Amino acid sequence: MGKQRVPRNRIDLMLLLPVLMLLALGLMMIYSATFVLGDDSFHYLKLQGLSAVVGLIVLALTTRIDYRLWRKLALPIMSIAVVLLFLVLVFGDQVGPSRSYFFTNRVQPSEFAKLAFIIYIAAWLASRGEEIRDVTYGLIPFSILLGVVTGLIVLQPDLGAAVLVVTTAVSMFFIAGAEISQLLVALMAGIPALWGIMETWDYAEKRILTFLHPEVDVEGIGYQVHAMLTALRMGGLFGRGLGAGTQKFIQPWVHHTDTIFAVIGEELGFLGCLTVIGLFVFFAYRSWLNAFRAPDTFGTVLALGITSWLLMQALVHMGGNTATLPFTGLTLPFISYGGSSLVTCMAGVGILLNISRASVEKEHKSLATLAFGWRNRRSRLSSTRHRRRME
């Protein structure tokens, strides 16, 4: 049974549907979590609604832009991201010990840098071919690129974003064909860097200690974790009802950004949390399916990179809210309050949708062209592309 090319005017509605459902849920939960804050109960909802409109426009535009164009623009996009990360350190808004935002905490360059770095790394990895397994052409330049970007983010400091950039880039490096031994070397080199960060920034060490011992000092450094777990416990199976949560009245607690998954757990219960997880899992499935059908290596690596970024960010957020991972302060994609995060996530989804429009239908048995853990991932990927051209 031969393959058929998907019509160019079609998009993967099954990929778009979970995103729109998460977006609608996010607007609903942001209002529920913030109507008790300030004089205007709709203040945060209106701001997020505006960001949602902008995000949908950006999604529509990136869906129509041929994803191959991003490969040509990868270097300028990455250059802009690096400049913005540098400028925010000098001119950014000072919020506590960090400088992460412009324009009164409305624009966060690190969010743009996540997508820019994924595009650049995808283009760089696709151009390297088999050379990716050579330490000189693979691991060393990759580590330098990664070190520059994450270093600028760590200096803000925004450790959650830095960890996300590292894990996403490493997953793309592995997908593109890097040897396991190279990743182990990078891991060993990263341990001293992590130790140095913990020694430099006291709050990073406190978050690790809170994760390991959440029962210690629940009135101090363990307060936020204790509040999140209390909210989840009070929600039970079905939740207390939309808007009926009580933990959001306790200050200080960032209900609508860093801990919105706990708000969902309290008001919509365990079933509400499972629904959110299920939507992300289905989104990941559709994204991976389209990635394996992409016409070229760049499309495959780019799609898997964007998917890994969104999925890992959701995983880290939910893990931090349930105390199964250290709390990092990362937003929950499509749901948490934050214009920069939402617009950038929607741009990433638009790129995925464009890749799906260019994807190639294949027989079921040929879907797994990238099998994780195989030493010859790159050669199998290249041979698959060659068969497509021959057919």
pLDDT tens string 81-107 = 999 999 988 887 777 667 777 767 778
pTM of the model: 0.85
**Predicted confidence (pLDDT) per residue in 121-131, tens digit:** 999 988 876 66
99 forms beta bridges with 94
The domains of the chain are located at 14-390
What percent of the chain is modeled with pLDDT above 70? 76
Distances (CA, A) of 265 to 166, 240, 273, 318, 373: 29, 9, 6, 10, 35
d(CA 120, CA 73): 8
Closest C-alpha among 70, 151, 142, 141 to residue 110:
151
Instruction: Tell how far CA 10 is from the center of its chain.
Output: 26
- The answer, yes or no, to whether residue 153 has pLDDT greater than 70, is yes
**Confidence category of residue 134, pLDDT binned at 50, 70, 90:** low
Tell me what pLDDT residue 363 has: 37
Tell whether the model's pLDDT for residue 163 goes beyond 90. no
pLDDT (tens digit, 9 = 90+) per residue, 32-62? 988 877 778 898 999 999 999 999 999 999 9
pLDDT tens across 1-42, in order? 444 444 455 789 999 999 999 999 999 999 998 887 777 889
Mean pLDDT of the chain: 82
Residue 304: pLDDT above 90?
A: yes
Question: Is the model's pLDDT at 168 over the cut of 80?
Answer: yes
Question: Residues 228-242: what's their mean pLDDT?
Answer: 90
- 354 and 67 in contact (C-beta within 8 Å)? yes
Band of pLDDT at residue 209, cut at 50, 70 and 90: confident
Residue 99, helix vs strand vs coil: strand
pLDDT at 119 over 80: yes
Place 135 in a pLDDT band, splitting at 50, 70 and 90.
low
Distance CA 54, CA 42 (A): 18
Query: Which are the contacts of 34, defined by CB distance < 8 A and separation ≥ 6?
Result: 41, 43, 44, 45, 248, 255, 256, 337
206 against 123, higher pLDDT: 123
* pLDDT beyond 60 at 383: no
Select from 147, 17, 130, 149 the least CA-distant residue to 79: 149
